[in-house]
Chains A and B, each alone.
Chain A
Amino acid sequence: MTVQSKDSDTSSLNTSRWLIPGLIILFCIVAFYFTTQFDRVPEILKRGIQPSDFPQLILLLLTALACLLPFENIQYNRPAIPPSVFISLTLMIIFVLLTHLDFFIALGCFGGLLSFSWGERRLGTLFLVTLLLPTFVFFLFDLVFEVRFPRGLLTNLWYG
């Protein structure tokens, strides 16, 4: 089966045809190296297989299948990743950085910024996703499910 639009970019098709299997094989080689560093157990304790045997078997299978990938007769011309995806990914990185300040400040900021970057301009909606929902979820998990969240600027106000 060949699925290819008229305006397909042959070079990008070739890139994804070879690049992805190449990256997978590279990953397998690195992971295989790590498996060689696993401790080996004496014959009497190994219970059938050494700790490295099974992961190595899977990595060999992955490598063999990755070698077959370029020869599959399927070519999809994928559109470029939209900027909104990169923006969302960037916001996730900002979320990770802000968690050092406070878990819920990070969640609130992410919610508000994601909503804004997706085109939301109504203040009520932004208020809802930035403040109301994180506050509701915090008290729901804290009071009902008795989950203790990491300490931070805001959570310290509650935990004391």
Chain B
Amino acid sequence: MEAIFSGLWALADPMLLFLIVLATLGGILVGALPGLNATNGVALLLPFTITMEPISAIAVLTTIYCAATFAGAVTAILINTPGTSASATTCLDGYPLAQRGEAGRALGMAAVSSTIGGIISVLCLMAAAPLLAGAAYKFAPPEYFALTVFGLSMLASIGEESSIKSIMSGAFGVLLATVGIDLLTTVERFTFGINELTEGIGFVPVMIGVFGIAELLAQAGQLGIFRERITLRAIQLPSKADYKKTWKAILRSSGIGTFIGILPAEGATIASMIGYNEAKRWSKTPEEFGKGSIEGIAGSEAANNSATGGAMVPTLALGIPGSPTAAVILAGLMVHGLRPGPTMFTEQSTFVFAIFWSMLLVNVLFFFIGLYGARIFARATLIPLTILWPMVFLFSIVGAYALDQSMIDVWIALIFGVIGYLMRRYGFSVVSLAIGLILGGMLEKRLGQSMVMLDEQWWLIATRPLSLFFLVLTVLALAGPALLKKIKKFKS
């Protein structure tokens, strides 16, 4: 209880509040710009937080996460291009509404449902994360190993093309994590005599490469695409009739989004798809979906924003990222010398609750900033690509360099930019690579500790109830989608 108030008190710092307001504006701008999203926005801005105190740094990153997720709706509604992939389903009804001259109404509903979804999820985060952390105290290395394997197995469902490719990308990330000196034995691995590689491949340059520079190359391939932009006159709060029609969808999607967010690796994009589909399934007027349904916007936006709070639950309580952006935030926590996990809730409880409160604050902030600033942010979509992407490259390269003031990080960012572009082109998920890289070190360390603990009889991992539980979940996560498909096929 004391930590809750000390966390709130930590937020009373005027400088921190100023940074949160600034990050909210930055996050909304990032989310509104097509091509940039919460994940690459957080990755690009991470180096700016190096000199900050950990509370300020992580509060800024989580603020950008929440604000950018909301702002994806602006471009989704006005130019039929989701600012973030999590807003893809918002396009389906937002743009038809905007074409009918109701862009303000659509944006108003997006702001309200995002705020409600975000607040509900942060409240769940405040309740669930300490409970989960408390339960995680019972975990020994074999349980942590099995949990990390489960976290990685969830990567199977996040790729666009195939589960195998997603797992391969994750495994490649885990392999990259083995570069450098093995901490258990001090043996050098894959360093090829390069001194700078002895400490391993840094998370931040890789993230900047695969999310920032790879996106630049992807944008280079989409030059000349014309986007029709709808003029926004004024944003409009939902009417009583709109509230009456959508409140169930908002609450349902908030629950769905929070739950999906808690699952390792699953983020706002999947949450918004399920939230939208459920809103349609339960709607009295499903035929309106895809043609400008206000329920569709509510279902999609409440779900994607509620996934942000949910995703922070496993990230902070277990050190397993709940979404792609949470993976970058996890890297940020590590850069600042913080070790996410159950001990964080006892040793750094003020820090943890300050982050919770800042996330709650940003959900209120972006409601007002979104409502009154939507017209200005909508203009951000007019920034020419010929200014935006050279600027992204500039910040990517300087950001990669600034962390350790080392040119090797610049080369790593460039190399992984090209690798990331090729991976995306051939259907391999760069998100899986990033999560694999973050979890790889932990996976190997826990495996080594488990082997020592179990006297090198690795199969005994499966004889411990909690480990067995996570391993069963792993099998279900890997085989479940294929099995369900077969059952459906058999039934039909």
Contact = CB atoms under 8 A, between A and B. Distances in A.
Partners in one complex: yes
B447 A107 contact: no
A54 B447 contact: yes
B448 A49 contact: yes
Interface string B435-457: 00000000010011111100010
A8 B421 CA distance: 22
B386 A69 contact: no
B187 interface: yes
Interface in A60-97: 61-62, 65-66, 68-69, 72, 74, 76, 78, 81-82, 84-85, 87-89, 92, 95-96
Contact of B425 (A34, A81, A149): A81
Interface in A104-160: 107, 110-112, 114-115, 118-120, 125, 128-129, 133-134, 137, 141, 145-150
B491 to A, nearest CB: 18
B263 to A, nearest CB: 22
B387 A128 contact: yes
A100 B316 CA distance: 42
Contact of A72 (B164, B174, B447, B450): B164
Given A47-B448, A129-B390, A58 B178 contact: yes
Q: How many interface residues does chain B have, given as a range? A: 35 or more
A29 interface: no
B164 A16 contact: no
B384 interface: yes
The A contact surface, by secondary structure, is: helix
A115 B387 contact: yes
A111 B393 contact: yes
B160 to A, nearest CB: 10
Given A125-B386, A150-B407, A141 B398 contact: yes
A40 to B, nearest CB: 8
Q: How many interface residues does chain A have, given as a range? A: 35 or more
A26 interface: no
B178 A74 contact: no
Contact of B185 (A51, A69, A84, A96): A51
B311 to A, nearest CB: 26
B384 A120 contact: yes
Interface in A25-74: 31, 34-35, 38-39, 41, 45-52, 54-55, 58-59, 61-62, 65-66, 68-69, 72, 74
Contacts of B451: 47-49
Given A48-B184, A54-B178, A85-B221, A65 B427 contact: no
B425 A78 contact: yes
Given A82-B220, A114-B393, A89 B418 contact: yes
Contacts of B450: 48
Given A74-B161, A146-B51, A110 B217 contact: no
A61 B223 CA distance: 38
B189 A38 contact: yes
Contact of B184 (A34, A47, A76, A96): A47
A49 B421 CA distance: 35
A20 interface: yes
A13 interface: no
A35 B179 CA distance: 11
B168 A62 contact: yes
Interface string B177-214: 01000101101111000000000000000000000000
Contact of B407 (A89, A99, A110, A120): A99
Contacts of B167: 65
16 contacts: A35-B189, A38-B187, A38-B188, A46-B184, A61-B171, A62-B175, A74-B162, A84-B223, A89-B418, A92-B414, A107-B394, A110-B393, A114-B390, A133-B394, A137-B398, A148-B405
Interface of B: 48, 50-51, 161-162, 164-165, 167-168, 171-172, 174-175, 178, 182, 184-185, 187-190, 216-217, 220-221, 223, 384-387, 389-391, 393-395, 397-398, 401-402, 405, 407, 410-411, 414, 417-418, 421, 425-427, 444, 447-452, 456
